Amino acid sequence: MNPSRLLLKTLNVHHEEWWLVEKLFVMQFFQGAGIAFFFTGAFSYFLNRFSITQLPYVLIASSFLLWATGYVYHLLEHRLSLSKLAIVITLLMTASILFFRVGTEFITAEWFFYLLLAWYNVLYLLNNLVFWGLASQFYDVRQSKRLFGVIGAGDIPAKFIGYTAALLVIKYLHINQPLLETRYLLFTAFICMLCSLPILRIISGNKTLNIGSKPHHAAHHPHSKHQHDSDHHEQSHQGESHKSRYQQYLKRYHDLKHQTSNLKNTLKNFTVNALIRRIAVISFIGYACYLLTNYVFYSEVKHVLHEDESLASFIAFFYAIARLLALFIKLVFTSRLIRQMGYRSALMILPVSLILFMLMLFMAPVMVNSEKVIFYVFGAAAIALEVLRTSIDTPVLLTIMQPLSSIEKLRAHNIVKGIMDPFAFLFSGTLLLLLVRLKWYSLDILGIILIVLGTACIFFIYQMNRAYLKTLIKTISSRYLSHDEFDLHGKEMLEMVEKKIDTGTELEVLYILKMLDSQKEGQINQLVIKALQHPSSRVVNEALDMINTHNITDASDPVYQMIQDHPDIHIRSGAIRVLQKINYSDEVAGKFINHPDKHLQMATIISVLNFEHTSVYKEEAETITKALYSSADPVDRINATSIIRNIRPTEFDDQLIGLLNDPNKRVVESAIYSIGEKPGEELIVPLLLKMREYDKAVSQALLDAGSICLPHMKETILDEHTSDKQREKLIFLCGRIGGEKGIQALLNLLLHLPQKSTAIIKALHRCHFSATQKDLHSFEAATRQYLVYAAEMLHMQKGLYRGHEKFHVLNNSLQIELGEIREVLLCLFSFLYDREKIERVKSAMELKKRDAQANAMELLDMTVKKDFAHYFSTIYEHGDLVHRCAALKNIVPKDEFKSFEHVINGILSEEKFSYNTWTKACSMYSGKKNELRINQDMVQKYLESDNILLQETARFAS
């Protein structure tokens, strides 16, 4: 079936997902119909033949049957492939229905009919394990949120048809004999279950199986007339990749078998994994409430309706109405309800409704004097719980499992359906029997019990929400070793580290030194001194830096010995500077201040000039420095800048300014770096003037200089003569400098230079900026604006689709723009919401792994404002382009890009958004190449651009 756009929109299904959604829906339809026919026949016969007080025995028997069935399923799960397991289980369900159908011909014992009704729960369990086991492997958490309600709705129309058909058969064919009715319905159940087998075969064997979503290159193709014509071509083209992807899922499933192969591991997940434990408890409470409510309702039905035909008809009618309501809610509202309300609020509906119904139960006798009121209250409660469990709770709980690893996901399904549901039967049956035996059974007592269970459910829903958030964060995060995990305690640990410094490789010892840097100084001194003996120069330099930083005076003798003996001249010069800081000596200064080796001489001069007290060699050191500055040899002048860079006084500022105009470029660069290390107010302006010629060196110097440069940088950024490239680089540097002053400078620039908001927002993100209350409104407005920009680009891509071969370069460029906007939006979200969570989202997005991105989107949904999250996910989740554009009509109500010319003119005009250079160049090139009517005034303005690419492309397009 080729779905209409309206149908896809109504069901919230993307076009490329339809094939698998349709097959899963049909499979669930047939199996659900079979179970509905089975239940209607078995239950009406049971209520006709036995007292309602016998139902608790069926519940208890069901619990043991379900545990046994779960165990058998567990064994089969690890011996069969995913597709074979589904087919085998379906065959077993079909055979079991046939067994009971044949059994009704020969077996009249009461145990058989107890077993018949209890077997309905076994069929329901197996159907759930097979169906949701398949679905959970095919979809990620984001798709699950949208699609689980739809694919799981297949059993609802089936059960509606099953119950309605049973009602019609009973009423119009006058089949009043319960046994005959049961035989007829069991045979129909057998046929329906048999019909689901071909669908399963298609799902597992079809080459064009679409699991989840299309590959990324197809994600932007709109579902239009043009696409309808090419569906068969695309299907054949993508068939092999889909088959391969399905095989990967099967392989992953096989690889997980040995990890989930025993009950011990499954139970371990229940006790260790908080999310699974809380999902299991919520499922248990919900199911127990459902069973208890239904028991009371059935007893009231038995009491109010005495005739066999009326009893069977009412049961069929009741379930038909309940399923019809569930179908409507599940197909149309479930995914939207979850998106709008969130998981926690959606799950709250059931326990809150239950509590309200029970309160009505206590109030009803006071307000209305009629026995039937209680019947209606419990009838309404039973329908509500049936509808809410089917349409909301089940899809939500299954979706919440999706961020778990595949191993944990399989175990979670086994725990919830194979262990907790049977416990619900056992608990409900035992409770009812105890109440009856102790003569405590009353509607008031059951009402209080249900209120207590509803309250407990609310508590665990809150607990589950926290566990779900932690699981999402854990799923998309990498673990980094903390310095706190490296603690030196005890003699053995110290000896082990010392031995590792002696025998370890260069990288190992460097890592140890890095970890030692976080320890208490008394513990690290001897270990750092020990590292001075390592053969690696990198290790020795790191040890010298630590001695210098921590002022380890105990290292004076080994450092002095290194100055005398070490073969590496650079290490000797570094050792001089360290020694003169931790234990200054004029003796050392006198020995090396006129040393023929420049490295040793410079290290000594720097040490003398940095000495806190007056050295006898200070005047000589200053004289040598000035001589180096005036030397005709560029190497000497570079050495002079290096000395100036490493000393505290500022009496050499004039010399540095003079060296900025040196004819030798290497000298100028060295002077620039020196200014960065020793900045002064009078040095910043001449430094900025050198930016065009010495871009890299000046940028590094400004960064090294820090906040002292910010006022001058801001003036340069706002200067109209500054080029765009320089302006963006300076904005970026403001972000790297950061601090409170950096943030204030950037916020000020955001007001005065809105056309550079993209660069400024990214720079603010580098500063770890967090919006205050007064900034909140402006940054929310900026977020909405960038969402509009992104939505308009999607419309542009849709406008280019008809000529996708001609405009693929421009389309790819727009995709790059969308990526840039995504980064800006995540930066804005980090200003407004929890930065740590947004950073995890950002990291997961960059992984480009489907599951990681889906989990990231889910975390974003739970962190940011609902409408922001909705529009962001619509724009950046892969799917049909037309569907996504239609979903964005609230922020882009009118499509202004219906032709190629509109797209290109929209880019070149830059009325709303400042596009990058490549996109503008692609637009001009594509317009000229395809002979489109482009506004030449827009092209002409780029002839004067500072960018060579834009200049050349504008000449070509003119």
Tens of pLDDT, residue by residue over 17-76, are 888 888 888 888 888 888 888 887 787 777 677 777 788 888 888 888 888 888 888 778
Q: What 3 state SS string does 776-796 have?
A: HHHHHHHHHHHHHHHHHHHHH
The encoded tokens of residue 194 equal 């048999």
Contact 150, 12 (CB under 8 A): yes
- Mean pLDDT for the stretch of residues 616-626: 87
What local confidence, expressed as pLDDT, does residue 456 receive? Answer: 92
What local confidence, expressed as pLDDT, does residue 242 receive? Answer: 41
If 0-12 CB within 10 Å is exposed, 13-18 middle and 19+ buried, where does residue 479 land?
Answer: exposed
Question: How far is the C-alpha of 752 from the C-alpha of 755, rounded, in Å?
Answer: 9
Q: Is the pLDDT of residue 244 over 70?
A: no
What local confidence, expressed as pLDDT, does residue 135 receive? Answer: 76
Query: What is the pTM assigned to this prediction?
Result: 0.61
Q: Which amino acid would we find at residue 297?
A: F
Q: Is the pLDDT of residue 253 over 60?
A: no
Calculate the average pLDDT of the chain: 78
- Mean pLDDT for the stretch of residues 415-441: 84
Q: Is the pLDDT of residue 224 over 90?
A: no
Q: Which amino acid would we find at residue 846?
A: E
Low-confidence winner among 29-43, 222-236, 588-602, 935-949 (lowest mean pLDDT): 222-236
What local confidence, expressed as pLDDT, does residue 500 receive? Answer: 77
What local confidence, expressed as pLDDT, does residue 780 receive? Answer: 93
- Which residue would you say has higher pLDDT here, 24 or 182? 24
The encoded tokens of residue 99 equal 């067994």
824-845 pLDDT, tens digit per residue, is: 999 999 999 989 889 888 888 8
- Which residue would you say has higher pLDDT here, 861 or 747? 747
What local confidence, expressed as pLDDT, does residue 323 receive? Answer: 61
The encoded tokens of residue 755 equal 């056309």
Helix (H, G, I), strand (E, B) or coil at 109: coil
DSSP run (H or E) holding 331 = none
The encoded tokens of residue 235 equal 């299907």
Contact 71, 414 (CB under 8 A): no
Calculate ∠ Cα 479-480-482, nearest 5°.
Answer: 130
Contact 315, 47 (CB under 8 A): yes
325-376 pLDDT, tens digit per residue, is: 666 666 666 667 777 777 788 888 889 988 988 888 777 666 665 556 666 7
Q: Is the pLDDT of residue 208 over 50?
A: no
What local confidence, expressed as pLDDT, does residue 758 receive? Answer: 92
Q: Is the pLDDT of residue 155 over 70?
A: no
What local confidence, expressed as pLDDT, does residue 279 receive? Answer: 87
Q: Is the pLDDT of residue 223 over 60?
A: no
Low-confidence winner among 173-177, 355-359, 565-569, 876-880 (lowest mean pLDDT): 173-177
Band of residue 745 on the pLDDT scale cut at 50, 70, 90: very high
Band of residue 209 on the pLDDT scale cut at 50, 70, 90: very low
Rg (CA), the chain: 38
What local confidence, expressed as pLDDT, does residue 941 receive? Answer: 83
Q: Is the pLDDT of residue 273 over 50?
A: yes
Q: Is the pLDDT of residue 479 over 90?
A: no
Band of residue 710 on the pLDDT scale cut at 50, 70, 90: very high
Contact 428, 291 (CB under 8 A): yes
- Mean pLDDT for the stretch of residues 924-950: 83
Question: How far is the C-alpha of 882 from the C-alpha of 870, rounded, in Å?
Answer: 16
- Which residue would you say has higher pLDDT here, 726 or 237? 726
Q: Is the pLDDT of residue 676 over 60?
A: yes
Query: Comparing C-alpha atoms, which of 286, 301, 475, 305 is closest to residue 387?
Result: 286
- Mean pLDDT for the stretch of residues 548-554: 87
- Which residue would you say has higher pLDDT here, 317 or 716? 716
Band of residue 665 on the pLDDT scale cut at 50, 70, 90: very high
Band of residue 861 on the pLDDT scale cut at 50, 70, 90: confident
Contact 891, 871 (CB under 8 A): yes
388-407 pLDDT, tens digit per residue, is: 777 778 778 877 877 777 66
pLDDT > 70 in the chain, percent: 79
